[in-house]
Structure 1
Amino acid sequence: MGAMRARRPSGRHRRAEAQQVTYRQVIAIREFRALWYAQGFSLLGDQLAQVALAVLVYDRTGSPLATAAVYALTYLPSIVGGPLLAGLADRFARRGVMLACDLVRAVLVGAMAVPGVPFWALCALVFFVVLLSAPFSAARAALLPEVLEGDMYVIGSALQNMTNQAVQMLGFAAGGAAIATMGPYRALALDAATFLASALILISGVRRRPATDHAGAKPSMWAMTRAGAGLVFGSRKLRTLVLFAWLCGFYILPEGIAVPYAAKLYTGTLPIPVITGLLMAAMPTGTVVGAFLFSRFVAPPRRLRLMGWLAMLSCAPLIVTAVQPPLAVVLGAWFLSGVGGAYQLAANAAFVQSVPAERRAQAFGLVQSGLMAVQGIGILAGGFAAERLGPEPVVAAAGIMGLTCAAVLTMSWAEPRERMRATATA
């Protein structure tokens, strides 16, 4: 794929770029605040539910495999829901799609909060709750550019991404303490309430817009998937960037076996749910810190050079678990792994620059589905191995394999990186 020629910005674009948009200006927009708050409420409830489900399943089964399997269900439905249901946001009014998804998910999670629900029914409810996140996310992503224009959209997207990580960190950390106090069933009921809160915020803060008018025929899902695959995997640069993104399948694995790992670390001082929450919060905390430092103090050209090193950092600290260290060391290692995960900012920016604007939806849809697949498969494989070997060697093995893949990708990235620098300076 040839390099795209950079166009000289027009006078109006230069003036727009000169006017630096602040976070305060973006937050002052009422509709953005509504989308931001709704997303935060929903995500906070989801993190609480993930910890509650992990604790509930492990209490019922005592099986790391069953615990990881249910956790993997929070990733796998997006592989199906992404291509099949995301298009609902283009066929119906986007606010209406978001409201319907919130209300249905509130009912489904409320059913999960009923004590005595059979294990198979719990798994089915988890599957459908996560399945509905695809049209909700697609509708929100399509609505955001209508609410924010120009550089405001960039700043708003960055603010939402940072909020996602912070809420994930808070949800996992506070979730363990909350579940230790109220129990997993009440925590699931609280998650159902967050979906209702999200729906109320959307009704009051986002104005109604008509559905997009489709005059011509649209290509089939399979045609769009083939076109996206040809675009992404036909270019060495894009292929390498996608593999960098999918590397997270290795360093996300420890979250799926956090409960059995917490049971191994239990010494009688902290309850197992609290240890679980701390473990699950360590990586998101590191990601927030790493993303702030990486975006604030590292210049864009240098980010491309550091991307490979940070990718290796995202996996290397996990190897320390092979020596069965205490909780403080494990938390530190997982925190460092999260800091290394900040390389995804550079990979995402390079990917956006390299994909034609009119084909980004196809490319991002394919990458996102693969991202969910590698995370779900990695967690499931980790649970299967942890049931036989224990959690410590499994986490260490994921770190070794991830570090090896990251090193290979870093060497492969050297040539495309230099071409991007040459194009940018031409």
Structure 2
Amino acid sequence: MGAMRARRLPGRHRRAEGRQVTYREVIAIKEFRALWYGQGLSLLGDQLAQVALAVLVYDRTQSALATAAVYALTYLPSIVGGPLLAGLADRFARRGVMLACDLIRAALVAVMAVPGVPFWALCTLVFLVVLLSAPFSAARAALLPEVLEGDTYVIGSALQNMTNQAVQMLGFAAGGAMIATMGPYRALALDAATFLGSALILVSGVHRRPAAHSEGGKPSMWTMTMDGARLVFGSKKLRTIVLFAWLCGFYILPEGLAAPYAATLHTGTLPIPVITGLLMAAMPTGTVVGAFLFSRFVSPPRRLRLMGWMAMLSCAPLMVTALRPPLAVVLAAWVLSGIGGAYQLAANAAFVQNVPAERRAQAFGLVQSGLMAVQGIGILVGGFAAERLGPEPVVALAGVTGVVSAAVLAVVWTESRGKARAPS
């Protein structure tokens, strides 16, 4: 396994090494701010669209399977886009890839916002929009370690993660009321505008950089995909880190069942859309808290040691739903699950440290593809099971399976780290 040869960056980027990094130092970096603001703006528009879609489909069909299937549509295109399109961010300038994806997605969503577009056309447009998120996310993930390095990267990732989850929390919690006020087409138009805003921020705040493969010719997309797969899955340590990342398929599953779960919790006090928004906001709320505590008060070596325990915490609270508790208990359990999900920060940092910079986008794309696939497939399977068993036991079963999987990975991870520390 080859360790990443980190590029030394000048000035304040380098001085943060060897000590605890503060959020203020990271925010002071202009390029990070641009990536941070653009991502948050675009994500806010996306959350409004997701809430509208979940509530609308369940209201029309009263089917947990149909609701989960449409929700999964926002994940599944990345199965194709990750392996095949993520390499674009290694073949071409990463900022340029991000700008192109933002502009094309803005145009596609603008078409979706036109009243009267057939349902099949809307589904096709949604597929294409999500498909383009693969090269965009790979480019951004590969670019961030060039802007930040060392523990500065971890703190920056934590800040982005907290912001993303806070935006999701806000979008999910307030989305139902906003959709009821502005309507779905205006929400889609707002989503299109956020993509344009993101593109403007990137142009003004992120420097141009040459493509990672600008020298010595550019390999074919197929060659890059195969090389990336060998890199990611050819190392036991990288495989373990990737499987830790993919555990989110278990603890994200409840979000896909939020609307039918809200129907079971409905007592007449709160409308079902409000309960749906609260359920979908619970895990992002916990992730904000967990990411802050994990990045700010836990040292980098201890983060790696705690990764297995935190992964188990991300799934264990879901088991309480088997007892069919009231809304307050469900929300508390899902918040605690989100706190456990902060282990992804350690997994992300460990992955970056073990992937060469010139192959980073392709590697991230492959992992992101699997990440979206396990979430989409998990939600589909969960929706199918919830049709027959109800959402509560399905969520509990996801928690049990996730805890067992996390425990196995924790043992493997501890062994691999012990071998890495052992003298040769």
Alignment TM class, shorter chain as reference: 0.7 to 0.9
| Structure-1 residue corresponding to 2:44 | 44
| Structure-2 residue corresponding to 1:130 | 130
| Counterparts in 2 of 1:187 and 1:401: CA distance versus 1, 3 Å | same
Quick check: 1:319–1:400 contact (8 Å CA) kept in 2? yes
Letter of the structure 2 residue corresponding to residue 221 of structure 1: M
Alignment of 1:291-306 (within 5 A): 291-306=291-306
| Structure-2 residue corresponding to 1:419 | 419
Q: Deviations over 1:91-124 (max 9, x none)?
A: 5555444333223322322333344543322221
Letter of the structure 1 residue corresponding to residue 193 of structure 2: A
Quick check: 2:324–2:392 contact (8 Å CA) kept in 1? yes
| Counterparts in 2 of 1:407 and 1:194: CA distance versus 1, 3 Å | same
Question: Separation in 2 of the partners of 1:154 and 1:412?
Answer: 23
Alignment of 1:17-416 (within 5 A): 17=17, 22-90=22-90, 94-144=94-144, 155-206=155-206, 214-357=214-357, 359-416=359-416
| Counterparts in 2 of 1:122 and 1:100: CA distance versus 1, 3 Å | same
Quick check: 1:52–1:185 contact (8 Å CA) kept in 2? no
Question: Separation in 1 of the partners of 2:298 and 2:30?
Answer: 32
Quick check: 2:47–2:175 contact (8 Å CA) kept in 1? yes
Q: Secondary structure at the match of 1:132?
A: helix
Deviates more, 1:164-173 or 1:278-287: 164-173
Quick check: 1:304–1:417 contact (8 Å CA) kept in 2? no
Deviates more, 1:164-173 or 1:12-21: 12-21
Deviates more, 1:14-23 or 1:81-90: 14-23
Deviates more, 1:262-271 or 1:38-47: 262-271
CA displacement at 1:386 relative to structure 2: 1.5
Question: Separation in 1 of the partners of 2:158 and 2:107?
Answer: 31
| Counterparts in 2 of 1:149 and 1:318: CA distance versus 1, 3 Å | closer
| Counterparts in 2 of 1:361 and 1:25: CA distance versus 1, 3 Å | same
| Counterparts in 2 of 1:319 and 1:37: CA distance versus 1, 3 Å | same
Q: Secondary structure at the match of 2:17?
A: helix
Question: Separation in 1 of the partners of 2:389 and 2:408?
Answer: 27
Question: Separation in 1 of the partners of 2:354 and 2:21?
Answer: 25
Letter of the structure 2 residue corresponding to residue 38 of structure 1: G
TM-score by length of 2: 0.87
CA displacement at 1:23 relative to structure 2: 3.6
Question: Separation in 2 of the partners of 1:375 and 1:415?
Answer: 28
| Counterparts in 2 of 1:78 and 1:331: CA distance versus 1, 3 Å | same
Letter of the structure 2 residue corresponding to residue 318 of structure 1: L
**Structure of higher RCO (CA pairs closer than 8 Å, 6+ residues apart):** 2
| Counterparts in 2 of 1:365 and 1:31: CA distance versus 1, 3 Å | closer
CA displacement at 1:45 relative to structure 2: 0.8
Question: Separation in 2 of the partners of 1:404 and 1:189?
Answer: 43
Quick check: 1:301–1:421 contact (8 Å CA) kept in 2? no
Question: Separation in 2 of the partners of 1:381 and 1:32?
Answer: 38
TM-score by length of 1: 0.86
Quick check: 2:64–2:387 contact (8 Å CA) kept in 1? yes
Question: Separation in 2 of the partners of 1:81 and 1:40?
Answer: 22
Letter of the structure 2 residue corresponding to residue 305 of structure 1: R
| Counterparts in 2 of 1:5 and 1:246: CA distance versus 1, 3 Å | closer
Question: Separation in 2 of the partners of 1:150 and 1:411?
Answer: 26
How many equivalent pairs are there? 420
Q: Deviations over 1:52-95 (max 9, x none)?
A: 11112222322221211121121111222223333444555554
Quick check: 2:68–2:379 contact (8 Å CA) kept in 1? yes
Quick check: 1:54–1:71 contact (8 Å CA) kept in 2? yes
Quick check: 1:224–1:362 contact (8 Å CA) kept in 2? yes
CA displacement at 1:141 relative to structure 2: 4.0
Q: Deviations over 1:128-155 (max 9, x none)?
A: 1111212333443455566567776555
Deviates more, 1:401-410 or 1:205-214: 205-214
Which runs of 5 or more structure 2 residues have no equivalent in the other structure? none
Letter of the structure 2 residue corresponding to residue 282 of structure 1: A
CA displacement at 1:378 relative to structure 2: 0.6
Question: Separation in 2 of the partners of 1:213 and 1:245?
Answer: 27
CA displacement at 1:51 relative to structure 2: 0.9
Q: Secondary structure at the match of 1:379?
A: helix
Quick check: 1:180–1:273 contact (8 Å CA) kept in 2? no
Question: Separation in 1 of the partners of 2:413 and 2:31?
Answer: 40
CA displacement at 1:287 relative to structure 2: 1.1
Q: Secondary structure at the match of 1:267?
A: coil
Letter of the structure 1 residue corresponding to residue 274 of structure 2: V
Question: Separation in 2 of the partners of 1:213 and 1:195?
Answer: 27
